[in-house]
Chains A and B, each alone.
Chain A
Amino acid sequence: MNIYQPQLALVTAVTEETPDTRTLRLELKDEALRNAFAFHAGQFGEYSVFGAGESTFCIASPPTRKGFIECSFKAVGKVTSALREVNVGDTVGFRGPYGNWFPVDDWKGKDVVFIAGGIGLAPVRCVIWNVLDRRDEFGDVTIVYGARSVVDLVYKRELQEWASRSDVRIVTTVDPGGQTDDWKGEVGYVTPVVEATAPQAQNAVAVLCGPPIVVKLTLPVLERLGFADDAIFTTLENRMKCGLGKCGRCNIGPVYVCKDGPVFTAAQLKELPAEY
């Protein structure tokens, strides 16, 4: 067995998040591996449908929940389209966990601000649950989440669950024109909503994930709010194949995103060529 050979995983649950996005719950078939499997929030895996190939996503479930992993993806390419066709009881391939992670342990005692756009909530969700499962260790928790439209909001049940908690402040927003008549959240792009929400930056960290444009526009807003570059964390989503620092595909400047990332601080991002 070589490092590129995947483990087999059973699909145990499927959640249709939006018309083109779904979440799979996977359990490694090998019992010993399943019991030993551990990862950190922010790490990713290579998921495969045999015959279609492998695709890279973060592990969207938190490391504090054992025995399974979840991934959420939008069906845009060959592999994600094939993953969209799998059902509970099917077998897929999995390799991982790979990459670095959010330094959640370093955030003890701090406020945590989560900002996500679209499917960017998947890596953030992992950290949110990781933090909420250890709620006492952190200060205020703020979540700002936006999607193109109401129908494009992912993890709808969890958004409600977070909204119902008194120890979480959550703002959800949809792009102008994406609201429905009964939409109770904000209407506007993520970036101005973050600015209006104005989480305080003192003794706080921010986790920001989303489409490249959302990340690019929101970084200066966080700076204006007083977040230091090394207190802002994001993930890069460069195209990957091996996930192991071999195939060369995700190399930008001095980093291999799969090994040196996918989690980077805004300070690290500024040092990189804009090839992400």
Chain B
Amino acid sequence: MTSADPTRGTYFITEDDLRALTGELLGAGTEVIAPVALDVCASPSAIASSACLRPGVKPIDIEYRALESAAQLNLGSGLPVLSLKQYFLPEYEALCCWRQHGTEIEIEAVPTEFAPRVVLAAKPCDSAALAVVDKVMNWDYADELWNGRREATTIVNLACPVVDESCFCTAVGTAPDDAKGADALLTPVEGGFLMEATTDKGRALVEAHAARFTAEEGAGGAGARGRQAAEERAAARARAAANLEIDAASVRDWIDTHFEDPLLAALGVRCNGCGACSSVCPTCHCFDIVDEEEGIGKGTRRRCWDTCQAPTFTLHASGHNPRDSQNPRYRQRINHKFAIYPLKFGEVLCTGCGRCTRVCHAGQDLVEILQAIDIAARRREAVSP
């Protein structure tokens, strides 16, 4: 067994070695973030879960967490409830702290450099979202907090078999086996995983743990394992494509030119205007900035997640609200994701993870909405070539 040569592209690693690698990272004090299957029935929450009484049922929550041990690393196909966004744009984070002495103010800066960390088994839709949001976070002004975390993090994706019928990554320009926004991609194969390092950070990770990898026979994965990986990845892509196929460019142009169309103008009727979709969305990045006092004369200025679905998002202090009902607010969500952002930054602000649809118990269904817009866009193209 020869160790990996990190200048070459594809490596093989067994699950045991992957866990050993995880243990090495943790042992060296590196933070490792990965999906973890939380046993609901072993947590204080068990009291609230009737499922814990059900024979043969073991309710688990999949969440991205900082690992405490390599054994926690979950290599299953489940989609974490919250996306990876929380590790780059935390639900809340300090922008600065202040302390007042009489009329004098002292500001304490927050660090913008972060210790190196590794994300393992990230969902491709989640890493792709980071690459999409990179654009706005670097539009003329660089957001050092976002960039600092991006630079400090090496992300290893795990090719996804497609979770359910609400997945549609391939419709919005990414794929269940994409390494976009990530540094390497793992694909499950017989006996372990193929690992492709796609960036210098990914190659550095392989290099630092070269003994855990073997160089894969046949460059580009032409060997038996490579063929198996390619087949499974193609099958996953086909499953995603079967859920939804749209022409994102014509959807973009249609939305851009049909702002007042009844299809867009009345989308919000069943929407409750809760921000659950934005909270779980890997690409929603809008935030609020608030001052929070911590005792007399000191406090922290923080940013926290916000949502365009809340009436207060656009409410002026005067009481004037430019988007004063849920219909324009929901249209804004669609418009921003599928027209405004693509026109401004060249990327759809959606990676098809389907979380917004799954989390919406009012039945707002992005798959259905995109399908309807796609049909409208195609119809227009048919009548005006």
CB of B361 closer than 8 Å to a CB of A: no
Q: Give bound CA distance, A59 to B323, whole Å.
A: 26
For A, the interface residue count at a CB cutoff of 8 angstroms equals: 42
Flag A228-256 by CB within 8 Å of B: 1 or 0 each.
00000000011101101111110111100
A4 touches B318 (CB 8 A): no
Given A245-B140, A275-B328, also A5-B107 (CB < 8 A) = yes
Of A91, A245, A276, which contacts B136 at CB under 8 A? A245
Query: Which residues on the B side are within 8 Å of A90 (C-beta)?
Result: 103
What residue of chain B has the Cβ atom nearest to residue A243's Cβ? B141
Asked if A246 and B141 make an inter-chain contact with CB atoms under 8 angstroms apart, the answer reads yes
B96 with A241: CB separation less than 8 A: no
Q: Is the CB of B96 within 8 A of A5?
A: yes
| Prevailing SS type, chain B contact patch | mixed
Quick one: given A2-B143, A5-B109, A254-B340, are A248 and B286 in contact (CB under 8 Å)? yes
CB <8 Å contact, A244 and B290: no
Within 278-305 of B, Cβ neighbours of A (below 8 Å) are at 285-291, 293, 299, 301, 303
Q: Are B105 and A50 in contact (CB under 8 A)?
A: yes
Nearest CB of chain B from residue A86's CB, rounded to whole Å: 9
CA distance A5 to B289 in the complex (A): 11
What's the least CB distance linking B365 to chain A, in Å? 23
- B296-345 CB contacts (< 8 Å) to partner A: 299, 301, 303, 306, 308, 313-318, 320, 322-323, 328, 332, 335-336, 340, 343-344
Identity of the chain B residue whose Cβ is nearest the Cβ of A82 in the assembled complex: B291
A52, A242, A276 pick with most chain B CB within 10 angstroms:
A242
Q: With A50-B100, A238-B314, A276-B322 as known contacts, state yes or no: A247 contacts B107, CB within 8 Å.
A: no
Please provide the chain A residues from 197 to 233 with a CB less than 8 Å away from any CB of chain B in the complex. Answer: 212
What is the minimal beta-carbon distance from A88 to any residue of chain B, in angstroms? 10
A89 close to chain B: CB less than 8 A:
yes
Q: Is the CB of B323 within 8 A of A275?
A: yes
Most buried by A among B137, B286, B293, B323: B286
Docked pose: A86 CA to B69 CA in angstroms: 53
Contact across chains for B103 and A89 when beta carbons are under 8 A apart: yes
Q: Are B289 and A242 in contact (CB under 8 A)?
A: yes
CB under 8 Å from chain B, chain A span 1-38 = 1-6, 8
The reply to whether B104 and A91 form a contact with Cβ atoms under 8 Å apart is: yes
Docked-complex contact A241 and B289, CB < 8 angstroms: yes
A49 to B: closest C-beta gap in Å? 8
| CA–CA, A91 and B103, complex, Å | 6
Choose one: B96, B320, B343; the contact of A4 (CB below 8 Å). Answer: B96
User: Which of chain B's residues have a CB closer than 8 A to the CB of A6?
Assistant: 96, 107
Contact between B317 and A241, CB atoms less than 8 A apart: no
Q: Is A151 an interface residue (CB 8 A)?
A: no
Q: How far is the CA of A6 from the CA of B301 in the complex (A)?
A: 10
Among residues 52 to 67 in chain A, which have CB atoms less than 8 Å away from a CB atom of chain B? 52-55
* Contact (Cβ within 8 A) B317 A76: yes
C-alpha gap A274/B259 in the complex (Å)? 10
Give the shortest distance, in Å, between A40 (CB) and chain B (any CB): 15
Q: CA separation between A276 and B103, bound complex, in Å?
A: 37
Chain A residues 77 to 110 lying within 8 A of chain B, measured CB to CB, are 77, 80, 89-91, 93
A273 within 8 A of B: yes
Of all chain B residues, the one with the shortest Cβ separation from A245 is: B139
Interface pair A251/B143, CB less than 8 Å apart:
no
Interface presence of B271 (CB below 8 A)? no
Does residue A177 face the partner (Cβ distance < 8 Å to B)? no
**CB of A48 within 8 A of chain B?**
yes
Which one of A5, A249, A273 contacts B306 once the chains associate, using CB atoms below 8 Å?
A: A249
> Does residue B145 face the partner (Cβ distance < 8 Å to A)?
yes
Partner of A259, one of B139, B301, B318, B323: B139
Q: Given A5-B110, A241-B288, 20 other A-B contacts at CB below 8 A? A: A1-B109, A1-B112, A3-B142, A5-B96, A6-B107, A50-B291, A51-B299, A53-B291, A54-B289, A212-B320, A237-B316, A238-B314, A238-B322, A244-B140, A244-B143, A247-B289, A248-B287, A248-B306, A248-B336, A254-B343
Q: List 15 A-B contacts (CB under 8 A).
A: A1-B109, A2-B112, A3-B144, A4-B95, A4-B303, A5-B95, A76-B318, A89-B103, A239-B316, A253-B335, A254-B340, A259-B140, A273-B259, A275-B323, A276-B322
